[in-house]
Amino acid sequence: MNNLKAFTMLEVMIAIFIFSTGMFAFMAYHARANAMMFDNESSQIAHSLAINLAEEINSLTMEDSRDLSEAGCLQSGGLCYDASLGSYFDKGNSFVGGPFDSFGKPVGGGSDQPFMFYRLVTMRSYNEITQTSNPAISQLGLLRHFEVIAAWPSRDYPSLKCINVGVANCNYVRIPVVKPISLP
């Protein structure tokens, strides 16, 4: 009698099933890890862009801070886009305005690329924040609270333009900067 040892078809099918189940689990883990890395990288880029603009604001003199706080777009709790603020910072032509692409590089006037980063600035006085009434010439009356906001779309909505605060499916990083201004 011939005594051949071989796998039966059932054993091969069970082995293929076990292997494919493991591979599906690995692929699901890999896809989730890639999504988490993308979200983390986007957050880091936005944070870097926001910190850069916050440092520009922080480096302003008291007179320049006053000029910035009197910008038309910042009045009445408005939003300014960073590109419109270049004249307040651009003493040495080094200010780079947005929006920015997915690598954090400026694209100038805009683009239809996915995953664009936008920087926004708001400003409120100390009196508005604390709901107090300090004289305009007091130390507290001269404080301004600038908030730099970096906004970018979530992974599921890559073409969404996050040019306002509170837009659904947009991510935000907020950096506060408190600066005194000089008297006019």
pLDDT in tens, 1-13: 566 676 788 888 8
In a domain, 165, yes or no: yes
102: in domain: yes
Task: Supply φ then ψ for residue 35, to 5 degrees.
Answer: -65, -40
Q: Is the pLDDT of residue 163 over 60?
A: yes
* Least confident segment among 25-39, 88-102, 166-180: 88-102
- Is residue 18 one of the residues assigned to a domain? yes
- Full residue range of the structural domain in which residue 30 is found: 9-180
- Give the separation between CA 102 and CA 152, rounded to whole angstroms: 9
The residue whose two tokens read 């910072």 is: 89
Instruction: Work out how many domains the chain is built from and give that number.
Output: 1
* Contact criterion met (CB below 8 Å) for 142 and 180: yes
Answer yes or no: is 4 within a domain. Answer: no
* 172: its two tokens: 């935000």
90 lies in some domain: yes
Mean per-residue pLDDT of the chain: 82
31: phi then psi, degrees, rounded to nearest 5: -65, -40
Buried b / exposed e over 7-18, threshold 16 CB at 10 Å, is: eeeeeeeeeeee
pLDDT score, position 110: 56
Half-sphere exposure (Cβ direction) of 77: Cα atoms closer than 13 Å: 4
Q: Is residue 3 part of a domain?
A: no
pLDDT tops 80 at residue 98:
no
pTM score of the predicted model: 0.76
**Is residue 66, in this structure, part of any structural domain at all?**
yes
Q: Tens of pLDDT along 110-126?
A: 566 777 888 888 888 88
pLDDT value at residue 12: 86
Does 2 reside within a domain? no
